[in-house]
Amino acid sequence: MNEAAQPASRWLIVFALGYLALLVDGADVMMYGLTLTRIKSEFGLTNVEAGALGSLTLVGMAVGGILGGWASDSLGRVRVVVWALALFSLGAGLLGLTHSFLQFAVVRFISSLGIGCMVLVTTLVAEYVPTARRSLILGVLQTGVSAGYIVVIALSNWILPHYGWRMLFYVATVPVVLAMAIHRLVPEPPGWRAAEAATPGGQRTWLENRYYRIFTDREARTMFVLWSLGSVFSLSGYYGLINWLPTYLENELHVRFNSMTGYMIGTYVVAFVSKIAAGWLGDVWTRRGVYVVGCIGVALFLPAIIFFHTHDNIVWLMLCFGFLYGVPLGTMGAFMSESFATRVRGTAVGGAYNVGRFCSGAAPVVIGYIATQFSFGTGFLLVGLVFFLSGVCTLFIPDRLYDTSAKDPAHEHKPPEQGATVDGKAAQALDAS
């Protein structure tokens, strides 16, 4: 293979394997929501207890993501992703062997430490792809999560009625093979290797405090705080929906399981398309604008589902919601990754995103409690509010703050005039350099 062809083929390999990793991530997250009704029945759980299992998962994801982000700056993005993928795949299989609330909770917490690190897949791919197409490529990458939803919904429609919920978790051990492939085929990104080589002594150490670097730099501190708040609100809405939407459709809208899975597949197929559209629009317009419009769109549309649904229009309402729901997710990866320099990117992205996951751990319990007192529809009104607040927080984050594909950290772009954004031509010029 000639030198000119190597970079293109390399990022395509990284993209393909990263896509499969996010597909597995999405499938794992969706499995709990789809099996929740059966797990509740077998273990005799209340709504609050079932919500607590979802919340415990989010806490584990947050802890794992924060530690994984920090470790990725020290040990490498690829190494952390490989171990995380293996951990949560094997953990999912072990869930099929549990027989009580406590057993399920312990195994789910441990396996969710690995799930939390999957946000680093986006960071890894972002450090390989060119600036001019980054938002589109990462938007397509995020469709892997939707693809995971679709795959596991389709599998559940076949497996759950015939083999039960445990078999679905046993099947989830297969992605261990993917972890092995990533370990073998994907090298650490050039930017990370350059930053590693520039570290005194030729290596990074666990004692090096990147959070100190973040909080003593005014710009990095501001970006971290804004993204932490934005993540708290968006992920509270996201995980609140993921955990309870299937139950809402079955129990309050009285949709049969087969029809419910069909509605959800349609919703996530549309979200699949909207993530690609959002990624493209983020490149030709702004990452920030797309993200904010998407969050506000979700916030405004949820009440339409709750107050105006009928058996005749619920399909169309779900499809429209799915499109809006995918928009902020399609541009979040590029937007967040470009907010931080290479030397702290893993720590900052993993930290800010998983502060959101940690705080959003309350969402499934809160919605479960509101559903007990009122209804799931009432709980979803709160979901709309938190999506709106996420859009408000990210209004203050500039576009394209750093070039994540720079092979030398010294060539990363930091905009002039204290926070001015970079236009598309400037970003292309950075790639050319």
Q: The domain that contains 220 carries what CATH number?
A: 1.20.1250.20
Q: Which two tokens stand for residue 211?
A: 């959070």
Is residue 179 domain-resident? yes
Whole-angstrom Cα distance, residue 244 to residue 375? 11
Is residue 282 domain-resident? yes
Secondary structure tally for the chain: helices H, strands E: 19, 0
Tell me the C-alpha to C-alpha distance, in Å, between residue 284 and each of 17, 277, 342, 375: 26, 11, 24, 41
Domain count, the chain: 1
> Residue 335 sits in which domain range?
10-190+216-432
**Burial of residue 92, with CB atoms counted within 10 A of its CB: 0-12 exposed, 13-18 middle, 19 or more buried:** buried
Is residue 174 domain-resident? yes
Is residue 208 domain-resident? no
Is residue 3 domain-resident? no
Is residue 341 domain-resident? yes
Is residue 160 domain-resident? yes
pLDDT in tens, the chain (433 residues): 443 444 556 778 888 898 999 898 888 878 877 888 888 889 988 877 887 887 788 788 888 888 888 888 888 888 999 999 999 899 989 999 999 989 999 999 999 898 888 888 888 888 887 767 777 888 888 888 878 888 888 888 889 888 888 999 999 898 899 999 999 888 888 777 777 776 655 444 544 577 888 888 899 999 999 999 999 999 888 878 777 777 777 777 776 666 666 767 777 788 888 888 998 898 888 889 999 999 999 998 888 888 887 777 777 887 888 888 889 988 887 899 889 987 888 888 888 888 887 887 788 778 888 888 888 888 888 889 999 999 999 999 998 888 766 555 555 655 443 333 333 333 333 333 3
Is residue 209 domain-resident? no
Query: Rounded to 10 degrees, what is the CA torsion of 164, 165, 166, 172?
Result: 120
